[in-house]
Structure 1
Amino acid sequence: MYMFDRLTKTRFIRRLNRFVLVLKIDQTGEQIEAHLPDPGRLKELLVVDAVVWIQYADNPLRKTNWTAILCETDAGTLVSLKTTLANTLIEEALLTDRLPFFKGWTLEKREYRVDHSRFDFLLANHDGAKLLVEVKSVTLARNEKGFFPDAVTNRGAKHVKELTQLAQLGNYQSCILFVAQREDIQSVSMEATIDPVFAKAIEDAVEQGVHVFAVGTVINTERIEISKQIPVFV
């Protein structure tokens, strides 16, 4: 579980660039700029007048004093705009043994480097086997189905291909774990129309024995937490 600090309700006006939003605070009407932690397209979410929940940051080194944390869909579904929360939630779940598909594995290291690449987690079991885990945040959804990615991700495809190669060599087991950062997602599929290279990399990875899992979450303006395992369709 991750607890949010006090959030402020705003309305979306426009997106200045990949990392900055222009918003209007509901209560005062003040127009402000906020850092956007998710560099994805988010065009289905960031529409004029959409509700965006932001958090104040008292840091003189920042260009903006606010961070966008959540966005609401037309249906009122809350969507996390902070991609790093996926890793935070998975780390907590690993430390508390909440993920049944990782039963028998323990967290050995975060941000584990193999050659020139870095992966999110390294797990180990009592037999000495090693498991590399790469986490992906899912926010794109249609009809309760989540899709990844929402923009071309060359880095993501590169990681998947490297995990596949490492699994083939036999030094590591490999896993890709999708975290749905909106609670209306009941399954995860690859969005091949946006990034066919990533979709093909996942398909090849599964054929070569790379594990692929997904989990759903429950979100409100106070917290986000993992709810259950959900199916992945490759």
Structure 2
Amino acid sequence: MVVFPTLVKTTFIKRPNRFILHVKREDTGEQIEAHLPDPGRLKELLIEQATIWVEYVDKSSRKTSWTAVLCETEEGHVVSLQTTIANKLAEAAIKKKRIPSLREWSIKKRECKVGSSRFDFLLQNDQDEELLLEVKSVTLARTGEGFFPDAPTARGARHVQELTKLTEQGRYQTAILFVAQRSDIRSVAG
């Protein structure tokens, strides 16, 4: 059974750093701090008066009691602010054989360390071949086309270079899976 969180509607005020949002609750008018799981720029989303849906998290070990979950665009499209959802969706889709190019593969390991990098999944097929899969969350869109990345990323570039090198060495097959995390994306470009 899937349990969905109770979300509270808020209005964006400011983003003091990559992982914190200041928002105002619509129901009480209270200003609160929310953890932002997506460290991307998100400058087209986090604009004055944007609607942000947050979830209360009751953990004393956290600096904030709230987590940003969704954002609504000016056009009314919904965008996930939780990059970890992409990996959960990918895992479920792989297990249920919903991705045509990955139907012959099964998950052997999550968070697979190879060299100095950690990749999201190590897959294996019936011939015992292995495939390293990196999953990327796509939240930037223009007229139905998603773009990745939404900002220059040294870590992301390094991952692509390492995947390319591992493929050239013949050690692994490699792939990157782009997961559209907004309702208006019809295709993705790099």
TM-score range, shorter chain: over 0.9
Corresponding position of 2:39: 39
Give 1:4 deviation, angstroms.
Answer: 3.2
| 1:157-206 Cα shifts (integer Å, max 9, x gaps) | 1000100011111111000110010021011112xxxxxxxxxxxxxxxx
Q: Deviations over 1:9-47 (max 9, x none)?
A: 000011111110000000110110000001111110001
Spell out the pairing of 1:59-98 with structure 2 (5 A cutoff): 59-98=59-98
Structure 1 residues 182 and 102, CA gap change in structure 2 (3 angstroms): same
Q: Deviations over 1:65-111 (max 9, x none)?
A: 00000000011100000011100111111122221111111110000
Gaps of 5+ in 1: 191-234
1:163 aligned onto 2:168: no
Q: SS of the residue aligned with 1:176? A: strand
C-alpha distance in 2 between matches for 1:83 and 1:61: 21
TM-score (norm 2): 0.97
Residues 161, 2 of structure 1: CA spacing in aligned structure 2 closer, same or farther, 3 A cutoff? farther
SS at match of 1:34: strand
Alpha-carbon distance in 2 for matches of 1:82, 1:111: 18
Listed as ranges, the gaps of 5+ residues in structure 2 are none
Indicate whether 1:144 and 2:148 are aligned: no
Contact (CA 8 Å) 2:94, 2:103: kept in 1 or not? no
Which residue in the other structure is 1:102 paired with? 102
The residue that corresponds to 1:154 in the other structure is 154
Instruction: Return the alpha-carbon distance in structure 2 between the equivalents of residues 55 and 78 of structure 1.
Output: 16
- For 2:139 and 2:3, the matched residues in 1 are separated by 19
User: 1:1-234 residue pairs with structure 2 within 5 A?
Assistant: 4-190=4-190
Secondary structure, in 3 states, of the residue corresponding to 2:164?
helix
Measure, in 2, the Cα distance between the counterparts of 1:72 and 1:86.
Answer: 18
C-alpha distance 2-68 of structure 1, shift in aligned 2 (>3 A): farther
Deviation of 1:2 (Å): 6.8
Does the 8 Å CA contact 2:144/2:187 hold for their aligned counterparts?
A: yes
Give yes or no for contact 1:2–1:89 (8 Å, CA) kept in 2: no
Q: Distance in 1 between matches of 2:102 and 2:116?
A: 26
Q: How many residues align?
A: 190
Query: Could you say what the CA RMSD is over the residues aligned between the two structures, in angstroms?
Result: 1.2
Taking every aligned residue pair, what percent have the same amino acid on both sides? Answer: 59
User: Which runs of at least 4 in structure 1 moved beyond 4 Å after TM superposition?
Assistant: none
